[in-house]
C-alpha cells in the first residue's frame, strides 16, 4: 500500500488505515489509533472553491462531502455519517435543473473550500529589541523597512523595548510614544488602562491609536524605523542589559486584543534574555547564571523563577489564542534567551522560532526575507481554527503539534489515555505553514463498534482568514474501513507515520519525564510492537522473524533513542 500517495492527494496519513472494531484489538496494537494531518500542504490537485455556503447536516453538523449520496431527482442528499435524509436548499434546485453537478458530489473532491465572506482586517505588529549594537540595529532596520514595504494590506503597528517598552501612536499628526515601565508586572486590566485600550468584540475591527491601516501610516512608520537608536540605558558593572521582553509581549497582547479583526501576527526580534519585569529569564547580574537542565530536573531554587515565567508566557498564549494572534520570534543571541519559558506562547499560537547568534549573519536576512515572502502571499492563512469530527463510534483523545484546544467540551477523566491537548474537538492553529503537521489521536467509545457499515469517516473543518481579505472554510473528509481481521489491520499499518507519532509522544512525555524514564518507555514500545507482530520461538533467537510491515520500527527506535531529541 502506497501511503505517501494518500499524503500527496489528501494531506493526511493514518497510522492504521484499517480501524480495529474492538477497543481490545486497538490497545493490543500498541501504537495508538492516530493520524497526521497537514492542513495547508500543497496538494497534487488544486482545491475547488465554492462561492456558496456549505451544505450542513441538521442532525450531526457534518458538511456534505463526496461520500454522501445525492438524489438529484428528489433534490435530496443522505449524510454519510449519520444517514439522515435532508432536502437540498432551494438555491441549488435551479443549478441542478440546468444540468450542473454539485462539487460536493464528485468523488475527486474530498477536500473543498467555501468562501464565507470578507475578513474584517488583519494586523501585523512588529516588536523590536533595542538592546543591540549600532551595527546590528542597522541590519534590523533595513530588514524591517523591506518587510513594511512588502505588506500591501491590513493594519500595522510597532513596539520597541529596552529597559522600558514603547508603543507608537500613529493616529495623531505627530508620532507619539506611550512608555510602559518594564520592571513592573501590571495586571492585564491595568496595562490596558495605561495604554488606553479595551478588549474588542470578536470579528469587529477597531482601529486604535497603535494599530492602523498600512496604507495610511506606511511613510510615518518607515520614518520611525529609520530613527530607531540602541537603548540609551547603560548596564551597571558586571551586569546584563536591562531587557523588558516579557513586558513588551504583554503590551503586544493587549494591543491585539483591542484590535479584534480576523487575526493578528506578532513578529518579535529578540537579542537576548528578559532580565527584568514579568517573564524574567535571568537576573541582570552576571553573578547569577542561567538555569540549566540539571536545575530543572533537580528542582533547585531556579525552578521557582522558571515556573513563574513559564506561567506568565502561558497566560499570554491563552489570551493571544482568544484574540486570534500568532507570535513569531527571531531570537539572535550569543547567549540563552529563554526559549523554554517562551515555548507555550510560540507553539500554542502556531508561531515559528528562528535562532542564531547575531542579526548581522546571513541567516537572519535570508530567513526574514523568506518569512515575509511566505506570509504576504494572498492565500497565506491567519487565525486558522480547526474543528475535527469523527465517526460516532470513536472519540478524540488528544492532539499534538502547533495548536491549542479552543474550549473543553468533554471531561478529560472520560478519556482513558488523553494525549496532549485533550478534552474537545476545536483547536486554534494560528498561522500554519504549508508543512505544519498536526497529530490527532482517537479511542473507541464502546468496547465494540456498533456501526453496521464498515466505513469510518473523519472530517476536518478549517476556518481561516487570508491576507487578501477573505474568510475561507476548508472541509476535508476522509474515509477508512473498520476491520476485525488482524492480518488486514497489520497490512494497513503505516510505519513511517507511526514512528512520527511515537516521536511526538516522546517529545511530549519528555517535558515531564527524565531521560532514563523516557528511554525505558521507548524501549517498552519497540519491545511490545515486535512481540505483537513478529514470530519467534521462545529461547531460540534464530527463529525470530519480523513482519515486513514493522521492519522500520526497530531501526527508527535505535537512531531516535540516540538523537538530540531524547538526550
Q: Going residue by residue through the chain, which has 567 residues, state the pLDDT in tens, using 9 for 90 and above.
A: 778 888 888 999 999 999 999 999 999 999 999 999 999 998 878 899 998 889 999 999 999 999 999 988 888 999 999 889 999 887 787 778 777 788 888 888 899 999 998 877 889 999 999 999 999 999 999 999 999 999 988 899 999 999 999 999 988 778 899 999 999 999 999 999 999 999 987 666 666 789 999 999 999 999 999 999 999 998 888 899 999 999 999 999 999 999 877 889 999 999 999 999 999 999 999 888 888 777 776 666 778 888 999 999 999 999 999 999 999 999 988 778 989 899 999 999 999 999 988 899 998 999 999 999 998 888 889 999 999 999 999 999 999 999 999 988 887 777 888 999 999 999 999 999 999 999 999 999 989 988 778 899 999 999 999 887 889 999 999 999 999 999 999 999 999 999 999 999 999 998 888 888 899 999 999 999 988 998 888 888 888 888 889 988 989 999 998 887 777
Using DSSP, state whether 48 is helix, strand or coil. Answer: strand
Give the contacts of 351 (CB within 8 A, at least 6 positions apart): 326, 327, 328, 329, 345, 402, 430, 431
Q: Tell me, letter by letter, the H, E, C secondary structure of 432-461.
A: CCCCCCEEEEEEECCCECCCCCCEEEEEEE
Distance CA 172, CA 178 (A): 13
Distance CA 382, CA 262 (A): 8
What pLDDT, on the 0 to 100 scale, is given for residue 304? 85
Distance CA 508, CA 498 (A): 15
HSE on the CB side for 296, CA within 13 Å? 16
* Backbone φ, ψ for residue 126 (5° rounding): -95, 130
Question: Is 565 exposed, middle or buried, given 0-12, 13-18 or 19+ CB atoms closer than 10 A?
Answer: exposed
> Please, what sign has the CA dihedral across residues 357, 362, 365, 371?
negative
Give the contacts of 77 (CB within 8 A, at least 6 positions apart): 55, 64, 68, 69, 70, 71, 85, 86, 88
Inter-residue contact 441 to 34 (CB < 8 Å) = yes
Q: Which helix (H) or strand (E) holds 33?
A: none
What pLDDT, on the 0 to 100 scale, is given for residue 134? 94
Mean of per-residue pLDDT scores for the chain: 90
> Please, what sign has the CA dihedral across residues 297, 302, 303, 309?
negative
What pLDDT, on the 0 to 100 scale, is given for residue 206? 64
pLDDT digits (tens, 9 = 90+) for 538-558: 888 888 888 889 988 989 999
Which residue(s) pair with 355 in the sheet? 331
Q: What is the pTM of this model?
A: 0.92
Inter-residue contact 272 to 178 (CB < 8 Å) = no
pLDDT digits (tens, 9 = 90+) for 461-518: 999 998 878 899 999 999 999 999 999 999 999 999 999 999 999 999 988 888 888 9
Q: Which helix (H) or strand (E) holds 509?
A: helix 495-509
> What is the C-alpha R_g of the chain?
26
What pLDDT, on the 0 to 100 scale, is given for residue 130? 96
What pLDDT, on the 0 to 100 scale, is given for residue 22? 93
Distance CA 306, CA 312 (A): 10
Q: Dump the DSSP string for 203-244.
A: T-----SSSEEHHHHHHHHHHHHHT-----PPP-TTB-----
Inter-residue contact 312 to 278 (CB < 8 Å) = yes
Residue keyed to cell 499560537: 349
Closest-CA residue to 406 (of 358, 350, 465, 475): 350
Amino acid at each position: 500500500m502506497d501511503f505517501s500517495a494518500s499524503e500527496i492527494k489528501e494531506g493526511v496519513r493514518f497510522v492504521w488505515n484499517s480501524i480495529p472494531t474492538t477497543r481490545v484489538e486497538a490497545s493490543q496494537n500498541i501504537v495508538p489509533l492516530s493520524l497526521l494531518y497537514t492542513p495547508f500542504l500543497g496538494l497534487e490537485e488544486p482545491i475547488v472553491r465554492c462561492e456558496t455556503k456549505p451544505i450542513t447536516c441538521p442532525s450531526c453538523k457534518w458538511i456534505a462531502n463526496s461520500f454522501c449520496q445525492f438524489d438529484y431527482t428528489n433534490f435530496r442528499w443522505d449524510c454519510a455519517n449519520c444517514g439522515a435524509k435532508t432536502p437540498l436548499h432551494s438555491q441549488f434546485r435551479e443549478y441542478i435543473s440546468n444540468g450542473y453537478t454539485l462539487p460536493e458530489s464528485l468523488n475527486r473532491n474530498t477536500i473543498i473550500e467555501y468562501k464565507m465572506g470578507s475578513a474584517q482586517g488583519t494586523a501585523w505588529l512588529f516588536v523590536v529589541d533595542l538592546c543591540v549594537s549600532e551595527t546590528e540595529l542597522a541590519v534590523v532596520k533595513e530588514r524591517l523597512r523591506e518587510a513594511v514595504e512588502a505588506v500591501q494590506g491590513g493594519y500595522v503597528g510597532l513596539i520597541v523595548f529596552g529597559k522600558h517598552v514603547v508603543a507608537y501612536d500613529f493616529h495623531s499628526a505627530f508620532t507619539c510614544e506611550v512608555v510602559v515601565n518594564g520592571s513592573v508586572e501590571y495586571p492585564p486590566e491595568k496595562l490596558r488602562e495605561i495604554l488606553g485600550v479595551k478588549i474588542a468584540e470578536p470579528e469587529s475591527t477597531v482601529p486604535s491609536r497603535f494599530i492602523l491601516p498600512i496604507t495610511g501610516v506606511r511613510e510615518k512608520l518607515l520614518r520611525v524605523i529609520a530613527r530607531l537608536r540602541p537603548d540609551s540605558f547603560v548596564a551597571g558593572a558586571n551586569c546584563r542589559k536591562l531587557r523588558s521582553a516579557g513586558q513588551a509581549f504583554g503590551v503586544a497582547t493587549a494591543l491585539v486584543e483591542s484590535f479584534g479583526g480576523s487575526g493578528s501576527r506578532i513578529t518579535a526580534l529578540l537579542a537576548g534574555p528578559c532580565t527584568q519585569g514579568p517573564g524574567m529569564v535571568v537576573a541582570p547580574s552576571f553573578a547569577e547564571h542561567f538555569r540549566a537542565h540539571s536545575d530543572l530536573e533537580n528542582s533547585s531554587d531556579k525552578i521557582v523563577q522558571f515556573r513563574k515565567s513559564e506561567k506568565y508566557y502561558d497566560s499570554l498564549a491563552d489570551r493571544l489564542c482568544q484574540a486570534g494572534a500568532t507570535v513569531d520570534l527571531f531570537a539572535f543571541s550569543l547567549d540563552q534567551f529563554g526559549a523554554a519559558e517562551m515555548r507555550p506562547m510560540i507553539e500554542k499560537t502556531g508561531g515559528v522560532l528562528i535562532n542564531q547568534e547575531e542579526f548581522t549573519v546571513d541567516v537572519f536576512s535570508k530567513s526574514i526575507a523568506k518569512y515575509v515572502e511566505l506570509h504576504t502571499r494572498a492565500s497565506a492563512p491567519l487565525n486558522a481554527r480547526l474543528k475535527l469530527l469523527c465517526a460516532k463510534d470513536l472519540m478524540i483523545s488528544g492532539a499534538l503539534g502547533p495548536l491549542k484546544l479552543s474550549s473543553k467540551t468533554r471531561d478529560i477523566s472520560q478519556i482513558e489515555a488523553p494525549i496532549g491537548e485533550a478534552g474537545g474537538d476545536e483547536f486554534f492553529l494560528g498561522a500554519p505553514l504549508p508543512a505544519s503537521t498536526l497529530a490527532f489521536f482517537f479511542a473507541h467509545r464502546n468496547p465494540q463498534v456498533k456501526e453496521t457499515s464498515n466505513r469510518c469517516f473523519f472530517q476536518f473543518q478549517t476556518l481561516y482568514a487570508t491576507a487578501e481579505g477573505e474568510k475561507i472554510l476548508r472541509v476535508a473528509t476522509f474515509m477508512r474501513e473498520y476491520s476485525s481481521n488482524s492480518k488486514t489491520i497489520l497490512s494497513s499499518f503505516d510505519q513511517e507515520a507511526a514512528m512520527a507519532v511515537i516521536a511526538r509522544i516522546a517529545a511530549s512525555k519528555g517535558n515531564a519525564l527524565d531521560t532514563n524514564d523516557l528511554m525505558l518507555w521507548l524501549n517498552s514500545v519497540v519491545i511490545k510492537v515486535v512481540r505483537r507482530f513478529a514470530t519467534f520461538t521462545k529461547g531460540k533467537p534464530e527463529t525470530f522473524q519480523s513482519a515486513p510491515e514493522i521492519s522500520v520500527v526497530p531501526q527508527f527506535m535505535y537512531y531516535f533513542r540516540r538523537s538530540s531529541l531524547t538526550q
